[in-house]
Each structure stands twice: as C-alpha cells, then as structure tokens.
Chains A and B, each alone.
Chain A
C-alpha cells in the first residue's frame, strides 16, 4: 500500500525565548546540530517532490531562526501551503515579512487569561501574545489561537471565549499530555477532559461558527453516543503526516515524546526513502485489530478508530492504540449516557 504525504510539521529550531511548563519539546536551547540553511532548502525541495501540501514551521520559536524568511519563501515558491506555530511574543518584529508571505494559517499559543497564561509561559507575555493576534488580524492573516489545556488553565475557557468571540480568529483547544516539561499530575482527569469537550460542543451549539470558529484537536474524540458527529478514522502519523525535528529526524508525529520513533534522518537517507520504507511508521501502517491495547480491545469501534490519538495513547499508557482519553470509553465507564 502506498501512502501520500500531505502535511509536515517541522520543528524549525528548538531555540525558544520562553520556558513553558507544559512544553512537550522542552524547548529553549537549540539542538547542537540543527539543519543548516542549505539543508533546509534541500528538505523543502524533498517535501515538494513528495507531494506534501502543507508545511507548518514551529519550534521552539520559529521566528528565532535568522534564515526563517528565506526558507519560508522557498516553501511558498515550491507551491506548498505555509503555516506557522508561534508563541507570538516576537511576532511584531516580523509582521511585515509574514504578511508578504501570505501564510495559510498562523497559530498563536494562548493558554488562558493573563494570570494562568503567565504562570505557564512566564511573566509579561500575555499582552505580547494578544498584540500578536491583533497584528495578524490587522493584516488579514488567518489566525488560529491554540490553547493547550491542563489542570492549570482549563477553568479559563469561558473567559477566553469572551476574549476571542467575534475576534475573527479560529480557536483550537488541545490537551496537554505528559511528555517534555509537562508532568502527569497536571494532566486533566478524564472527567475534566470530557467537561472541556462539553464546553466545545456547547459553544458550537450556541454560536454561529463564523463568530467563534472553535474546534478540538485530534486528541478530542471518538465515537461519542452523546456529542455530535465525532468520527475518527485513525491517527495520521506516517499515513499522511510527518514531523521533522530540527536536526533532521523524521517522525510520524512530533508529539510522541520519544526519540525511538525517529524513522530516519534526512542527513543519512532521502525523505522519499524514509517515507517509502515498508518498515517505517509500522505502529500505524501495520495496524490491525490485534494491536489494540486493553483500553480499546473490546470496543466495537476499535478497528475503525485504531485506538485514538497516538500521542495521547503513548504518552499516557506507553503503548499505541490504547487511548484512555476517548469519549466513547468515558461515556461507557465513567458516566451514564
């Protein structure tokens, strides 16, 4: 079976000006051997040749790389969609260049109202992030606010809604999973997780999508009896998506939190060789129902859903296809629907 790469999430540098308490990358200091500008151009070409449609430059903080603009230009020139994921704190220095590039989406991390955002991301950063969102809107650049929820900030969601309502930005909520800097103790309980899903469903039912374009990330789902239309056909890692580390490692998803899932390095092999290797991404490509973990083994949707989000499953249970943060399972075991 052949797989078509659609989306690459590229850890452009591990260098970051913030030290966020939930950062899965434990970003701050760049990796010792990050890709050179020339290698980045070569990678862009390899991505375009493979038919990749979307490239998302994230970090660390992507705008801390001196050559970010020329590499972003290269992505555009090769006909791929350009996206950024940034903490927003230094975006004002680069806004004109970003605007010239016309990215498809710029994701900005906002993890609560001022107090909790700054507990997680450090003092003095909230206003800078809000300013970045305003600047992007002024330039009519499609913007997605990304909120990573944990025990530290999930209670802020209603206030964040007031902040983002009719602001003309998308809002993606995702769950902090225990890897990198983030500890298991701060992770949402299953009830808290389900309550945040109810919040999303409530807001979606209460407002026009244009007024509050709110979505849950891939970690929200699956096959609920109660919440509307949550369909999931398995994790995209290695199926249509990859992650690339700043030193050239290729993984199915950057959120696995473990280097053992690096399938190869573009310094040693071509991207095509890694992607087309029949043994790459075997946890997803060689999936069959016998691989389902104990949480999913007896579920009637198991074969279809393939055990939920690989990142949530692996980081919480140390195995794939076993995601305990699953609407269907929570409804069956924890609540009565």
Chain B
C-alpha cells in the first residue's frame, strides 16, 4: 500500500499495518478454504458413491459387516455402479457449490440489508 494520503486517512480511522495484514489473511483464508472444503466434500461424496455402488452391485463391500444390508442387497449391473458413483459426485459438487456460495463472507453487501434501503438519506 504505497499511497501516503491513503495511509494517513487509514490511520485516522484506526487502520494499522497489522489490520491490513489481517484483512489480507482473511481474504486469503476465504480464497483457499472454500476450494479446499469443496474438494473435500466432492471427494467424500464420490467415495461414498463408490462404496454404495460397489456394495450394491457386486454382492458386498469387503469391509461390510456380515449380514449387513449391503452384503445382502440385490446385485446390480455394472452400469448402475457407475451411475451411483456419478450421482453422488454430482450431489457432492452441488452441495459444495451451494456451501461455497453461502459460507463465504462478503464485507460489503449483505443479502438482508443491502437492497432494502435507498442511499438517499
């Protein structure tokens, strides 16, 4: 931040270099955390889809408890296995996309407040 006038005015408003570092940290955190969390949600969802798909298509997941529903479940075609995995991935992606949109912080506009009041007063 090189502009002297901005630094002076910022100082008057109590914005220090440390605060600026915090703002940057907050932005970086937002930028990094959201895709990471998104990727985790998609991976977990795909994994779950894979597990369910496998368990219901080839007669049982290797680690399923004996007699569990998955072991006893009806056998499915290979296509159904793929479909379940893809379906879970899509759901995971949609969930991650939704979460990304609703968990990010926006310091300047707020869905509840920002468009209710005119700026005229």
Q: How far is the CA of A154 from the CA of B119 in the complex (A)?
A: 16
Number of interface residues of B (CB under 8 A): 37
- Whether the pair B6, A335 counts as a contact (CB closer than 8 A) is yes
Known interface pairs A198-B20, A199-B14; A85-B6 also in contact (CB < 8 Å): no
Report A-chain residues with C-beta under 8 Å of the C-beta of B118: 9, 56, 58, 85, 243, 253-255
User: B23 and A202: CB pair below 8 A?
Assistant: yes
CB contact under 8 A between A144 and B108, given known A155-B13, A191-B9: no
Q: Roughly how many angstroms separate A180 CA and B118 CA in the complex, as a whole number?
A: 14
**Contact between A85 and B23 (Cβ–Cβ < 8 Å)?**
no
- Chain A residues with CB under 8 Å of B102's CB are none
Residue-wise interface mask of A (180-212) relative to B, using a CB-CB cutoff of 8 A (1 in contact, 0 not): 100000000101101111111110111001000
Quick check: which of B24-32, B52-60, B71-79, B80-88 contacts chain A, the rest being far away? B24-32
Q: Are B24 and A226 in contact (CB under 8 A)?
A: yes
Majority DSSP secondary structure for residues of A touching B: mixed
Given A191-B6, A192-B9, A337-B1, check contact A220 B108 (CB 8 Å). Answer: yes
Verify B105–A229 contact, CB threshold 8 A: yes
**Chain B residues with CB below 8 A from A202, complex form:** 14-15, 19-20, 22-23
Contact B120 A228 (CB under 8 A): no
Interface residues of A in 214-235 (CB under 8 A from B): 215-221, 226-232
In the complex, A83 has a CB within 8 A of chain B: yes
DSSP majority for the B interface?
loop
Binds A, one of B43-51, B62-70, B109-117: B109-117
Q: CA–CA, A241 to B120, complex, Å?
A: 14
- Interchain CA distance A24-B121 in the complex, whole Å: 6
- Give the residues from 234 to 262 in chain A that come closer than 8 angstroms, CB to CB, to chain B: 236, 240-241, 243, 253-255
CA distance A255 to B12 in the complex (A): 29
Kindly state the separation between the CA atoms of A335 and B5 in the bound complex, as whole angstroms.
10
Chain A neighbourhood of B117, CB < 8 A: 9, 56, 58, 83, 85, 107, 144, 146, 172, 217
Minimal Cβ-Cβ distance residue in B for A335: B3
Please determine whether B108 and A215 come into contact, CB atoms closer than 8 angstroms: yes
Contacts of A152 in B (CB 8 A): none
Query: Does A311 interact with chain B (Cβ within 8 Å)?
Result: yes
Determine the chain A residues whose CB is within 8 A of the CB of B107 once the complex forms: 200-201, 204, 215-216, 227-230
Question: Does A329 touch B at the CB level, under 8 Å?
Answer: no
Judge whether A94 is part of the interface by a CB distance below 8 angstroms: no
Please measure, in the bound complex, the distance between the C-alpha atom of A157 and the C-alpha atom of B10, giving whole angstroms. 11
Q: How many residues of A contact B (CB 8 A)?
A: 76
Chain B residues with Cβ below 8 Å from A87 are: 121
How many Å lie between the Cα of A167 and that of B1 in the bound state?
33
Q: How far is the CA of A58 from the CA of B121 in the complex (A)?
A: 9
Residues of B within 8 A of A232 (CB): 109
Q: How far is the CB of B74 from chain A (nearest CB, A)?
A: 47
Considering the complex, give the chain B residue whose CB is closest to the CB of A188.
B9
B7 to chain A, nearest CB (A): 9
Q: Indicate which residue in A105, A200, A205, A334 contacts B108 across the interface (CB closer than 8 Å).
A: A200
Bound-state CA distance A232–B12 (Å) is: 28
Give the B-binding residues of A (Cβ under 8 A).
6-7, 9, 11, 20, 23-25, 54, 56, 58-59, 83, 85, 87, 104-105, 107, 109, 144, 146, 148, 154-155, 157-158, 170, 172, 174-175, 177, 180, 189, 191-192, 194-202, 204-206, 209, 213, 215-221, 226-232, 236, 240-241, 243, 253-255, 309, 311, 334-337
Can you show 12 pairs from A to B with CB atoms below 8 A apart? A9-B118, A20-B121, A58-B120, A105-B116, A172-B113, A172-B117, A200-B108, A221-B109, A226-B23, A229-B105, A253-B119, A335-B1
5 further A-B contacts with Cβ under 8 Å, apart from A144-B116, A220-B108, are A105-B113, A107-B117, A170-B113, A255-B120, A336-B3
Q: Which 10 pairs of residues, A with B, have the shortest CB-CB distance?
A: A195-B9, A216-B108, A24-B120, A228-B27, A335-B3, A9-B118, A215-B110, A220-B108, A202-B19, A199-B13
